[in-house]
A and B are shown apart, each in its own frame.
Chain A
Amino acid sequence: MKGNGDIRIGFYICHCGTNIAGLIDVARIAEYAGTLPGVVVARDYKYMCSDPGQDLLREDIAAYHLMRIVVASCSPLLHEQTFRRAAEKGGINPYFVQMVNIREHGTWVHDDAEYMTGKAMDMVRAAVLRVYAHQPLERKQVPITPDVLIVGGGIAGIHAALTMADAGKHVYLVEREPTIGGHMAQFDKTFPTLDCAACILTPKMTAVKAHPNITLWTWSEVEKVDGFIGNFTVTVKRKARYVDEDLCVGCMECIEACIYKQGKFPDEFNMGLSKRKPIFIPFPQAVPPVPVIDPGQCLHLKKGTCKDTCVEICADRKAINFEQEPEYKEIEVGAIILATGFTPFDATRIPYYGYGKYPNVYTALELERLVNASGPTGGEVRLPDGRTPERVAIVHCVGSRDEHYNRWCSRVCCMYSMKLAHLVKEKTHAEIFNFYIDMRAPGKSMEEFYNRISSEGIHLVRGRVADVYPETLEKKTNGQIGRVIVQAEDTLIGRIRKIPVDMLILSTGLQPRIDAEEIRRMFNISCSAGGFFLERHPKLAPVNTFTDGIFLAGTCQGPKDIPDTVAQAGAAASEALALIDRGVFELEPNTAYIMEDDCSGCKSCIPLCPYTAIAFKEEKQKAEINEALCKGCGTCVASCPSGSIRQHLFEDEEIYREIRGLLAYA
């Protein structure tokens, strides 16, 4: 066996209480290590990670002029940083430390003491040989741009934006729709408190607009994301609104003056329950309070033949601009928070619930608009034929908890179904039937809310609705909409119930946005099985992603209610703040690097890198690895046909010595 020359090595084996010393003879291993080349001191100690343990390392470095350290103990995942820090304090390069995992890879998985002692010796020998070849490495620091991008202006994006802006950071808030607010803006009241949604939301929306630290871009989308943690370059497309945000004073006279005297096109914000004009504002409190023109509907933009009555009334404010083109903005940000929210399940996918077939079958979101005082009916719950319903059924779990559709529980629909039961009953005095499978009311004040609403005298039928069909086969001709029969087994009494109702409300679940996959790819993050964005750890890193510098907030990560959404948005904001306030980001030096002279420019490594860290430099015709993105997985190193990629801390010599050490049975 080749010696370690003049390199002076210190060896330490940890008892880990009885975790290690309980099975093997640590003193014997220390003694053995002392015989290995270059080892000038070898000790066993009760707890190497403890302060005295670390002190021991430092003192020995000074006393014995140690140049390398080997610690045989637990997994590097736990204490590599601890021992590296101790070595650094002792005055040597932190990367001169090598750990030997004799706990997770040793005493925890073996019960044969003799065998394990032999195995530990092999592992120790490998580490001692390896550490000889270690090179001093330096952690590089990258500066972090202090600005942040938040994508999506629902309650999650709004809350995160305000938190960061209040902390003095500059926020770019990008929202796809003409206004911020998201789904919450569509609700009348919110469970469990039944407080008015607008009263708590609109002040936050106007605060966003007024905040000096927030740049709000509505009617905009992210087109491109480059760069890495601390240094993202993002291109945002600002779609043509045809109304100049800087010139518009928000008088809304143009909408009034539009050549269309009446609304003609389905109003998206009202779920198509009313009509709007080609120039419109989603709702009166929209932020920014600037109208938008739909180019596919506006006569001027579509045909070029309109009296331009809107322009006329806008007069010398000159805010309407048919020549407006999309604008592309390039921004530099240090962190990104995704808050793109959810989409409700498409109820037409379950044909036997009759949505889209019977006019009195509604989705819950449509009902939210109907019960809303600023909704299409001024808050009156009426059927399409103008009548007030006398019997109403609410179907829980539509599209949720179902192997054919979405497997998950959407978490909010039980409670919003109870809310709608209350609101509809209050407004119509109708008899209400809630069909549920299991009533889910976890979280603060939720069970109390369930208790309160159920005691208001609604019928709770435990059974999933199995069929919906017209009460009478003959189609009514006198303009009245016939009742539908809701059929389900009432599982608690074991009878089939066929309940005729005037109105049926489908409590559709929450699912990922249709473009979640595209967004995922653009931001280089992952999705969970159901398609929601994947957090780094379900318990311990719920707002982080696997891409450093990109965080998640709200329902884009999974179904949740407003309280949880806001809590998560706060968490995402503080993670982003912690990152930015550090000012710099330290890079682990165990990255791959290319020996430029040898690289043939074959590009085969580029698609292999799971972190898209390799780019091709056209001018040099060589591949180049971005240290900030490389996670040191080694894929490219192993793949390079000309062997021109190497990796710090995994240099050939280090690995060969380690193998040689392992295979040299004593």
Chain B
Amino acid sequence: MLAGEEVIEQMWGVSLDRLYDSDEGQRILSCIQCGTCAGACPYGEHMLYPPRRIITMLKAGLIEDVFDSDSLFKCVNCYTCMTKCPRNIRLTEILLPLVKEQSAVRLEEMPAELQKAIENTYRYGNTYGESARKRAAWIETIEVPIRILAKDPAPVDILWFVECDLSYHPRGQAAARATALLFHLLGLDFAILGPEERCAGDCGRLSWEPGLAETLVDYNLSIFDKYTFNRIVTNDPHALDAFKFRYPMFAFKHKTTATVPELYAHLDRLKPMLTKKLDYLVTYHDSCCLGRHNGFYDEPRALLEAIPGVRLVEMDHNRENSICCGGGGGGMWLDTWYKQQGIERLSDRRLREVIATRANVLAVACPYEVSRFEDAVKLAGYEDRIIVRDITELLVEAIGGH
């Protein structure tokens, strides 16, 4: 079997009507109509045409009929169907984006929030519509020295790709500060792109705006070309995904990892620094891109367990069977739209499992999740019982004195 990256490279330029002529398309032909994809999908019951039916409709030549329904517009790119498919069909990577692009094009009206996010990204390079110049403003709020490559272009080991949420969102900035401090204390040689960085484009791509995604890829590639670095580390699992599974189509070859596995690699040096006891009962929510798509299940848990006092409990759905927070594939900007359709937000559903564990800390490793879950906690009235923290924030808290 080809590795994910190779498959993606091959799929470049394949369109829906020619899908079954491609190598990967032929794998799709082996679908046994078992319904696992639909049954596993967190929004399966709201889809008239789940992946299973779409596969057969395409086989029967009913491409147009597929778009009678906006089913796949609901897909949050959680990789659950793909992980469980017994035929190992790369649904989330290949089939679904092709259908989603077309579904979006045919929507009568693009949901406003999403429309805005896309426009912002086009115009400012970030979903928030903030000025690109302010992208590195957060570094003023910490004492740790942070090198910006534009100012000091000397070669560097780690290019830290901070991403939009950590750059602009107040809760994201907290994780950015924590990460910077951890990198600094570990003595890592790192630098950021600062104002030159733009959204990695994963959600652009997967939010059915391939044009936008390509613009961003082209832009970021041109910036990467300016500097010399060994590898990219990013806090955002969606960006990790973009670099590992999308950028290779455009001849991107840099080694990339996420902050969690990077920190895990230094655990033996990090552990002695974790001196402050945190009396927390923690449950960890697996990010889809970090877990299901890139296989990092043990690393985040090991980091949490390294904190003195922390006790880890698992939710009913965990690791490869975890449930999406609802933010992927553009879901981040579709909360209102889901609500209009009478569909429960996944973060609210997931929070019920958090509550059932009686944990007082929900640990996350994806920048979307902090805000999504804090919102869900508020809505459920659990603000005084559950706090949501990025793993980096908890580590810094355990270091004490910071």
Shortest beta-carbon distance from B159 to chain A in Å: 35
Q: Which of B84, B88, B353 is the most central at the interface, judged by chain A CB atoms within 10 Å of its CB? A: B84
Contact A495 B36 (CB under 8 A): no
Chain A residue at smallest Cβ distance from B88: A403
Interface residue count on the B side (C-beta < 8 Å): 27
Q: B321 touches which one: A467, A470, A490, A491 (CB < 8 A)?
A: A467
Shortest beta-carbon distance from B69 to chain A in Å: 12
Contact B34 A463 (CB under 8 A): yes
Identify which of B106-114, B312-320, B383-391 touches chain A: B312-320
Contact A351 B320 (CB under 8 A): yes
A-B contact pairs, 16 of them (CB 8 A): A352-B40, A352-B321, A401-B86, A403-B88, A437-B34, A462-B35, A463-B35, A463-B39, A464-B35, A464-B39, A466-B36, A466-B40, A467-B317, A489-B37, A490-B35, A494-B53
Q: B87 touches which one: A403, A469, A488 (CB < 8 A)?
A: A403
> Inside 8 A of A113's CB, which chain B residues have their CB?
none
Chain A residues 467 to 511 lying within 8 A of chain B, measured CB to CB, are 467, 469-470, 473-475, 487-491, 494-496
- In the complex with contacts A466-B40, A470-B316, A489-B356 CB distance below 8 A: no
Interface code A348-360, partner B: CB below 8 Å = 1, 0 otherwise?
Answer: 0001100000000
> Inside 8 A of A470's CB, which chain B residues have their CB?
316
Contact A489 B88 (CB under 8 A): no
> Inside 8 A of B88's CB, which chain A residues have their CB?
403-404
Q: Which of A402, A474, A495 is the most central at the interface, judged by chain B CB atoms within 10 Å of its CB? A: A402
Interface code B344-367, partner A: CB below 8 Å = 1, 0 otherwise?
Answer: 000000001101100000000000
Does B45 belong to the interface (CB within 8 Å)?
yes
> Inside 8 A of B38's CB, which chain A residues have their CB?
466, 489, 491, 496
> Inside 8 A of B53's CB, which chain A residues have their CB?
494
Does A438 belong to the interface (CB within 8 Å)?
yes
> Inside 8 A of B317's CB, which chain A residues have their CB?
467, 469
> Inside 8 A of B237's CB, which chain A residues have their CB?
none
Does A465 belong to the interface (CB within 8 Å)?
yes
- In the complex with contacts A401-B86, A473-B352, A489-B50, A466-B35 CB distance below 8 A: yes
Cα(A469)–Cα(B318), bound, Å: 11
Q: B44 touches which one: A352, A402, A465, A489 (CB < 8 A)?
A: A489
Additional A-B contact list (5), CB under 8 Å, known A352-B321, A437-B32, A487-B39: A404-B86, A464-B39, A473-B353, A487-B40, A495-B45
> Inside 8 A of B36's CB, which chain A residues have their CB?
463-466, 488-489
Does B131 belong to the interface (CB within 8 Å)?
no
Q: B-side binding surface: helix, strand, loop or mixed?
A: helix
Shortest beta-carbon distance from A44 to chain B in Å: 50
Contact A491 B40 (CB under 8 A): no
Cα(A401)–Cα(B34), bound, Å: 11
> Inside 8 A of A462's CB, which chain B residues have their CB?
35
Cα(A489)–Cα(B37), bound, Å: 8
Contact B84 A466 (CB under 8 A): yes
Cα(A192)–Cα(B39), bound, Å: 31
Chain B residues 34 to 76 lying within 8 A of chain A, measured CB to CB, are 34-40, 44-45, 50, 52-53
- In the complex with contacts A474-B356, A496-B44, A489-B39 CB distance below 8 A: yes
Cα(A463)–Cα(B39), bound, Å: 8
Does B33 belong to the interface (CB within 8 Å)?
yes
- In the complex with contacts A464-B86, A466-B84, A467-B39, A351-B321 CB distance below 8 A: yes
- In the complex with contacts A402-B86, A467-B39, A474-B356, A491-B319 CB distance below 8 A: no
Shortest beta-carbon distance from A471 to chain B in Å: 11
> Inside 8 A of B40's CB, which chain A residues have their CB?
352, 466-467, 487
> Inside 8 A of B52's CB, which chain A residues have their CB?
489, 491
Contact B84 A352 (CB under 8 A): yes
Chain A residues 435 to 476 lying within 8 A of chain B, measured CB to CB, are 437-438, 462-467, 469-470, 473-475
Cα(A495)–Cα(B356), bound, Å: 28
> Inside 8 A of B320's CB, which chain A residues have their CB?
351-352
Chain B residue at smallest Cβ distance from A464: B34
Chain B residues 154 to 206 lying within 8 A of chain A, measured CB to CB, are none
The 10 closest A-B pairs by CB, nearest first: A466-B39, A489-B35, A473-B356, A466-B40, A489-B38, A464-B34, A403-B88, A463-B35, A402-B86, A496-B45
Contact B45 A491 (CB under 8 A): no
Cα(A465)–Cα(B352), bound, Å: 23
Chain A residue at smallest Cβ distance from B87: A403
Cα(A141)–Cα(B38), bound, Å: 65
> Inside 8 A of A474's CB, which chain B residues have their CB?
356
Cα(A495)–Cα(B352), bound, Å: 24
Contact A473 B316 (CB under 8 A): yes
Chain A residues 246 to 265 lying within 8 A of chain B, measured CB to CB, are none
Q: Which of B36, B52, B355 is the most central at the interface, judged by chain A CB atoms within 10 Å of its CB? A: B36
Contact B316 A469 (CB under 8 A): yes
> Inside 8 A of B87's CB, which chain A residues have their CB?
403
> Inside 8 A of B86's CB, which chain A residues have their CB?
397, 401-404, 464
Interface code B216-249, partner A: CB below 8 Å = 1, 0 otherwise?
Answer: 0000000000000000000000000000000000
> Inside 8 A of A467's CB, which chain B residues have their CB?
39-40, 317, 321
Interface code B320-361, partner A: CB below 8 Å = 1, 0 otherwise?
Answer: 110000000000000000000000000000001101100000
Shortest beta-carbon distance from B15 to chain A in Å: 26
Cα(A152)–Cα(B297), bound, Å: 41
Cα(A397)–Cα(B352), bound, Å: 31
Shortest beta-carbon distance from A353 to chain B in Å: 9
- In the complex with contacts A466-B39, A473-B316, A401-B32 CB distance below 8 A: yes
Chain A residue at smallest Cβ distance from B318: A351
Q: Which of A397, A402, A466, A494 is the most central at the interface, judged by chain B CB atoms within 10 Å of its CB? A: A466
Chain A residue at smallest Cβ distance from B38: A489
Contact B39 A496 (CB under 8 A): yes
Shortest beta-carbon distance from B130 to chain A in Å: 39
Shortest beta-carbon distance from A489 to chain B in Å: 3
> Inside 8 A of A475's CB, which chain B residues have their CB?
356
> Inside 8 A of B45's CB, which chain A residues have their CB?
495-496
Chain A residue at smallest Cβ distance from B47: A496
Q: B355 touches which one: A463, A473, A495, A496 (CB < 8 A)?
A: A473
Chain A residue at smallest Cβ distance from B1: A403
Cα(A463)–Cα(B40), bound, Å: 11
> Inside 8 A of A488's CB, which chain B residues have their CB?
35-36, 39
> Inside 8 A of B39's CB, which chain A residues have their CB?
463-467, 487-489, 496
Shortest beta-carbon distance from A397 to chain B in Å: 8
> Inside 8 A of A438's CB, which chain B residues have their CB?
32
> Inside 8 A of A403's CB, which chain B residues have their CB?
86-88
Shortest beta-carbon distance from B361 to chain A in Å: 18
Contact A351 B319 (CB under 8 A): yes
Contact A491 B316 (CB under 8 A): no
Chain A residue at smallest Cβ distance from B49: A494
> Inside 8 A of A465's CB, which chain B residues have their CB?
36, 39
Cα(A262)–Cα(B193), bound, Å: 70
Cα(A141)–Cα(B296), bound, Å: 63
> Inside 8 A of B34's CB, which chain A residues have their CB?
437, 463-464, 491
Cα(A489)–Cα(B353), bound, Å: 23
Cα(A438)–Cα(B32), bound, Å: 9
Interface code B21-36, partner A: CB below 8 Å = 1, 0 otherwise?
Answer: 0000000000011111
Shortest beta-carbon distance from A285 to chain B in Å: 39
Chain B residue at smallest Cβ distance from A475: B356
Contact A491 B33 (CB under 8 A): yes
> Inside 8 A of B353's CB, which chain A residues have their CB?
473
Cα(A465)–Cα(B38), bound, Å: 10
Shortest beta-carbon distance from A347 to chain B in Å: 14
Cα(A397)–Cα(B36), bound, Å: 12
Cα(A490)–Cα(B319), bound, Å: 26
Cα(A402)–Cα(B50), bound, Å: 20
Interface code A377-407, partner B: CB below 8 Å = 1, 0 otherwise?
Answer: 0000000000000000000010001111000
Shortest beta-carbon distance from B324 to chain A in Å: 13
Cα(A473)–Cα(B84), bound, Å: 23
> Inside 8 A of A490's CB, which chain B residues have their CB?
35
Shortest beta-carbon distance from B236 to chain A in Å: 26
Cα(A465)–Cα(B44), bound, Å: 13
